[in-house]
Amino acid sequence: MNPVTLNLIAIGIFAVVLLILVGPLLQIPIAIPALITIGVLGLATLDTFGLQGQGGNLLIDTIAQRDPAYRRRILHHEAGHFLVAHLLSIPVTDYTLSAWEASRKGQNGRGGVQFDLDPILQQVKRGALSTQSVDTYCAVWMAGIAAEELVYGQAQGGGSDRQQIRLLWSQLTQFNKTLTPIDTKMRWAILKAKTLIEDNRTIYDALVETMDARASVTDCLQVIQDPEKQPSSKILN
């Protein structure tokens, strides 16, 4: 089950228990907590089996996206991924900036930049992943955190990005027991990504505005090549 859904269930159960405890004092009928419990469990079941766990993401994202500052932070985070991936020759296939955009495109999660991961997955299966490939993908995955730290001083997002590296490390340790500690690798990757963004700050700022206009991947790549080529109006996917 989606961790977001689990958290919502936990909150719902806590609220029901609290309602049961204070209900008699407020003269609330005992049937109300029971109905709320049934409703919470019903929604959780629908989310798990009908929405593949995406319902919790959509609910949380709908609330969070009402905050312009949150939306702007997400934009800077994803632009970091996009730019660093391009600079390190990792093809970007698509991007979304909210759970609703991701859902409309048949993607799970709360949105993000999509990469062509087939080359690294094939190397992992063969147990022949090069050090250079590891460093490259780690820098790309940590680029969102690096962008947030560069722009805002600290990162609030990036949990799923860290999980990507942890999953990779769990695969790699099957073949190499002497790997650099994962926390050390993450710190290095953030520093690498931050340096790339700082060295290309003008391009990064132009890319942020281009992605904000929901321009196509092709248009974003053109702006990276020439920061002056920014879309003049919103381009909805």
Q: Is the pLDDT of residue 149 over 70?
A: yes
Query: Which two structure tokens, joined as six digits, stand for 41?
Result: 């469990």
Average pLDDT, integer, range 70-94: 94
Residue 191 has pLDDT above 90, yes or no: yes
Within 10 angstroms of residue 136's Cβ, the number of other Cβ atoms is: 19
* Lowest-confidence segment of 14-23, 115-124, 209-218, 219-228 by average pLDDT: 14-23
Q: What is the mean pLDDT of residues 60-68?
A: 69
Contact 193, 140 (CB under 8 A): yes
Percent of the chain scored above 90 by pLDDT? 38
The residue with greater pLDDT, 14 or 2, is 14
Number of other CB atoms surrounding residue 31 within 10 Å: 8
Question: pTM of the predicted model, to two decimals?
Answer: 0.72
Query: What does the chain come to in residues?
Result: 237
More confident residue, 53 or 79: 79
Selected residue with higher pLDDT from 146 and 26: 146
Phi-psi region of 155 (alpha: psi -120 to 50; beta: other; left: phi over 0): beta
Q: State the sign of the Cα–Cα–Cα–Cα dihedral 140, 144, 149, 154.
A: negative
